[in-house]
Copies of this chain bind each other. A is one copy, B any other.
Amino acid sequence: MSPQQNLYELRTGIIGTGFIGPVHIEALRRLGVQVVALCDLPDRVEPAARKLGIPQTFSDYRKMLQSPGLDVVHITAPNRYHCEMSLAALEAGKHCVCEKPLAMNTRQTSKIVQRAAKSSAVFAVNYNVRFYPAVLQMRKLVSRGELGEIIHVNGSYMQDWLFKETDYNWRLLPAEGGKLRAVADIGTHWMDTVSFILDSKIISVFADLSTWHKTRKRPIGEIQTFANAGARVKYASYPVKTEDFASVLLEFGNGARGNLAVSQVAAGRKNCIRVEIYGSRKSVSWCSENPEFLRLGNRDGVNEVAVRGTQAFGPDVASYLDYPPGHVEGFPDTFKMLFRSVYSAIAGLPGEKFHATALDGHHEVAICEAILASHKNRRWIKV
């Protein structure tokens, strides 16, 4: 009996129908998982369910959690709901995939960690960047010692979708997104990814945060993440306190030092994650805009380019890539692979799992709090 077929029995419900909910649904379907229920506000859930082809709908997530035959819940609602939903899902005995950040603060995330520790359910936080095969492979390069000791890590996460003062999204509002924005929304992806690669936590931070648009203009009416504003929109001004860009210096538990630049006002960069890891034997760099290639640097010999899926890429990550080399796997595929990890864990299948746990999610929120404290106090802060 093939491993994947066990996944065909699993039944999943999704809370949230914004940008990322449908991404989850599509990825689950690629795995053959049955997406049976959808939950959102009453006026949203019905049209979304029709559009997405989901049979059952709920406007109260607690009711969905009580519906029979549901194995797994995905939380893709705005950040401020993550805590109560995560706790309720665990309480209901459901396996759970929660979008990042895990919750609004460490008070909340600690609760989730504690509750998850008492549960036999699988609880995952949706740090999907881990699941680019090149990222998994970087982790293997580090763990096999192929890079030597890690000296320093540099990189950035750059976007431009909030470049204009008229660009609007709920993440801009602290009450919905949290006190940090660029760092929390995309910076934590980078930090989780690098911690994952190094298998070493961030233990100390220094941060310089800046808000470029201190006042923004909000279109009257709500807008989806990444959706383009139409013409003839009316705007209302509002103050913005969350950061548009940031520099964060890092110290890892293994002694490596890091330097991360984050921006959501970087014209021309759509969603560009760059990681450069410098070791005492070799360096490796990777960019999400061209995700199939790992670039390895050597002092004396040639530099190298490892292509996803080749023999040189290594067998360790073979179960988390599906297409032959040269047939680019992209962003949507990272969700498929993350869910393969989670659902294989749920089904009790063998093989290494790589998804972020509640503790990983908690740690990212703790780092964010340290970053905010560092910025305010203009000094290094321990996480």
Q: Which of B151, B271, B322 contacts A265 (CB 8 A)?
A: B151
**Contact residues, A159-195 vs B (CB, 8 A):** 159-161, 163-164
Cβ–Cβ < 8 Å partners of A378 in chain B: 379-380
Interface residues on A, range: 35 or more
Q: Is the CB of B249 within 8 A of A268?
A: no
A297 at the interface (CB under 8 A from B): yes
Interface segment out of the listed A68-76, A329-337, A346-354: A329-337
Check A208/B324 contact, CB under 8 A, given A267-B281, A296-B268, A299-B160. no
With A and B bound together, what is the CA distance between A276 and B263 in angstroms?
12
Q: Is the CB of A268 within 8 A of B297?
A: yes
A261 at the interface (CB under 8 A from B): yes
Q: Which of B279, B305, B310 contacts A300 (CB 8 A)?
A: B310
For residue A283, give the distance in angstroms from its CB to the closest CB of chain B.
Answer: 4
Q: Is the CB of A32 within 8 A of B53?
A: yes
Cβ–Cβ < 8 Å partners of A276 in chain B: 266
Closest Cβ neighbor of A159 among chain B residues? B326
Closest Cβ neighbor of A227 among chain B residues? B324
For residue A222, give the distance in angstroms from its CB to the closest CB of chain B.
Answer: 17
Q: Is the CB of A245 within 8 A of B324?
A: no
Q: Is the CB of A332 within 8 A of B331?
A: no
A269 at the interface (CB under 8 A from B): yes
For residue A19, give the distance in angstroms from its CB to the closest CB of chain B.
Answer: 8
Q: Is the CB of A297 within 8 A of B1?
A: no
**Contact residues, A254-287 vs B (CB, 8 A):** 257, 259, 261, 263, 265-272, 276, 278-283
With A and B bound together, what is the CA distance between A378 and B251 in angstroms?
14
Q: Which of B19, B267, B289 contacts A326 (CB 8 A)?
A: B289
Q: Is the CB of A278 within 8 A of B300?
A: no
For residue A323, give the distance in angstroms from its CB to the closest CB of chain B.
Answer: 6
Cβ–Cβ < 8 Å partners of A4 in chain B: 51, 53
| Extra A-B contacts (4), CB below 8 Å, given A151-B263, A289-B292, A303-B304 | A208-B257, A212-B280, A268-B282, A323-B330
User: What residues make up the interface of A, taking CB atoms closer than 8 Å to B?
Assistant: 1-2, 4-5, 8, 19, 23, 26, 29-30, 32, 47, 50-53, 151-152, 154, 156, 159-161, 163-164, 206, 208, 210, 212, 226, 228, 244-245, 247, 249, 257, 259, 261, 263, 265-272, 276, 278-283, 288-292, 295-307, 309-312, 322-333, 378-380
Between A and B, 5 residue pairs with Cβ closer than 8 Å are A8-B53, A269-B326, A270-B326, A302-B304, A322-B332
